[in-house]
Amino acid sequence: MELYAYPRTLRDILGLNRRYIIPRFQREYSWGEDELMTLWDDILSNLKIDGKNLSESEYFIGSIVLVGDDTADTKFLIVDGQQRITTITIFFSALTEIFKEIGNYSLMKNSHKYVEAENDDGETFLKLENENPKPFFQFRIQQMDKNENFSPKSDEENGLMFAYNFFKEKMLKDNLIKEIKRKYKLGTIDYIDLLKTLRNQVLSFKTIYITVKDEDDAYLIFETLNAKGKDLESIDLIKNLIFKKIRTTAAGDLAKESWRSTRNILFSKENKISMSQFYRHYWLSKYSFTRDAGLYEDFKKRVPDTESSYENFLKELNDAANVYVQLTNPQITDWKQVEEKFVFDTIVALRTFDVSQPRPLLMALLDIRNKSKNIKFEDFRKVIVAMEKFHFIFTAIASSRASNIESKYSTFARQIRSCDNKTQTNKVIDEIINYYKDNLPSYDIFEDKFTSLYYSKKVTSNKRIIQYILRKTENYYLDTEELTTDIISIEHIMSESTEDENIGKIGNLLPLDKKLNSSIGDLEFRNKVEQYKKSKLITVKNFIMEHQRSATWGPDEISQRSKELATLAYNYVWKIE
């Protein structure tokens, strides 16, 4: 491996007419506010003060590794330092816009030359090339006349836009002068001179400029620099490995297009799903239970290092992403068969409970349901309904934690995938059901947590879970799926206007049609009961039958009804059969 290293300033690097290209295997731009703030602090903190004047000073910001011949090439691939070079480019793009807005076009052009240059034929080109966020990055941020019609459509583009706005906001006149005065205790400050000083400070930053001549060496350096997981996530290293094996051809870049397709499925206008989160759940569902830090090594161990294996893996990943979005952003239209609407209901419920651990198992269940058919509909329904019931009691109410639950879901998912027939699948389903039963919290724990649920106009944290409880309880009474109870409001039997401490307890709550609820207002209890008779909900009818002879409704009745609802919930509505 031929490797050359030189000390360089950013002025040396960006001042030449060279293209710096972010290669296909690199991760997306990922700097957030913490990293941007650190760089901004480095810029300001390294300014030197001499009397009343500020000037730049040298400061080392790390190494940059490139593929190319420093004596001959005008195009270089960025192996390491992509995040820093991208951020510096964004800084100069924001500075260009600042000079433009204040009408200093000479400084505007001199600033923009570090972003866009001109070759000997008079043709302009961007010094930093990145295909992933194209054309957003180029048109919205890099070019001098920015096109504001381009809006971010991915996680990476949102990050790029955030960085641009960060520097733009920092360099606005009032903000910048205020911060500099506070930091350096200066009196009168010339805004233009200050902007030029910031520009010079960034250009004075020093780096170790390392070049190699071979792209294979670039992949190796990339992996070596990042394999400890300090800078990159496992998914970035896996991407590097795949892209190294599957090279571009005359027909196109299969790896890049497949990877981009998966990312677009996960992160679109409707979905905002982390690639890392999806990948780990997919890996747990199909390959093994592995912690985040071990995903890269496990990938190398389990997926054969061949081009065809990697191509198949990318296809599987793409297919899995389509399933995963159904679990994270469920749409009723995904479940066209009426008899499968319960899957949608369970996924929505798990989101209400803020539970993600079952996703590897759900991915496996949906896979075999859609592809192999090695599962009976009755078993499919049984395990998914049991999953919802378990996590309602275990997670949503009892707030329990099981150290091995993620591992168990991974094991169950892989067992389900390995089944050759419906009989084998049925045995795994029974094992899952038994696991749920064995790990349920006791009734005493459940009752204590359930009766502590509280909802009022002032305390709304439990609103969604209480709406879920009221809806599911009503559906339990209905015993059929002919009617739905999606549009209900929460009625406080003892009116909130009493400001009694018990008004938000679940024993004081009823499901009611919104119009009926609003018409009742703060009536006395007996008058409320008469109004409740207009409701067709069975929960309300049962309440009337039990309490229509009661003259009053107070804390004792609320406490008693809370316990009755807890018993109903634990032993009947959410009982795992």
The one-digit pLDDT tens for each residue of the chain (577 residues) are 677 888 899 999 898 888 999 887 777 888 999 999 999 999 999 898 877 788 898 888 888 888 887 776 788 888 888 899 999 999 999 999 999 999 999 999 999 999 999 887 888 899 999 877 778 999 999 999 998 888 888 778 899 999 999 999 999 999 999 999 888 877 788 999 999 999 999 999 999 888 887 767 766 776 666 654 445 678 888 988 898 888 877 667 888 889 889 988 988 767 778 888 999 999 999 999 998 888 989 999 999 999 999 999 999 999 999 999 999 988 888 888 888 889 999 999 999 999 999 999 999 999 999 888 889 999 999 999 999 999 999 999 998 877 789 999 999 999 999 999 999 999 999 999 999 999 999 999 999 999 999 999 999 999 999 999 999 999 999 866 555 556 678 999 999 988 899 999 999 999 998 888 888 888 889 999 999 999 999 999 999 999 988 888 999 999 999 999 999 999 999 999 8
Phi, psi of 552 (to 5 degrees): -135, 165
Q: Which helix (H) or strand (E) holds 319?
A: helix 307-328
Contact assessment for residue 417 and residue 368, using Cβ atoms and an 8 Å cutoff = yes
Residue 434 to residue 447: CA distance in whole angstroms: 22
Q: Under DSSP, is residue 280 helix (H, G, I), strand (E, B) or coil? A: helix
Cα(461)–Cα(510) distance, integer angstroms? 18
Closest CA to 286 of 242, 250, 316: 316
| CB within 8 Å of 533: residues ≥ 6 apart | 544
- Please provide residue 486's backbone torsions phi and psi, each rounded to the nearest 5 degrees: -75, -25
| Residue 364, both tokens | 């496996």
Which of 196, 176, 107, 197 lies closest to 144 in space, CA to CA? 107
Instruction: Answer whether 31's CB lies under 8 Å from 158's CB.
Output: no
How many angstroms separate the CA atoms of 210 and 206, rounded? 13
Which phi and psi (to 5°) does residue 31 adopt?
A: -70, 135
Cβ atoms of residues 116 and 144 within 8 Å: yes
Q: How many CA atoms lie within 13 A of 553 on its CB side?
A: 25
Amino acid at 491: E
CA pair distance 200, 191, nearest whole angstrom: 14
Can you tell me whether residue 494 is helix, strand or coil? coil
Per the structure block, which two tokens stand in for 280? 């780990």
Residues 6+ positions from 159 with CB-CB distance below 8 Å: 28, 29, 30, 31, 32
Q: What is the pTM of this model?
A: 0.71
Q: How far apart are CA 128 and CA 138, in angstroms?
A: 9
Alpha helical stretches, state H, 227-253: 234-245
The residue type found at 22 is I
CA 379 to the chain's CA centroid: 32
Q: Are 525 and 496 in contact, with CB atoms under 8 Å apart?
A: no
Please tell me the distance from the alpha carbon of residue 184 to that of residue 135, in angstroms, as a whole number: 40
The DSSP call for residue 292 is G
Strand order in the sheet with 3-9: 3-9, 205-212, 59-67, 75-80, 19-22, 128-130
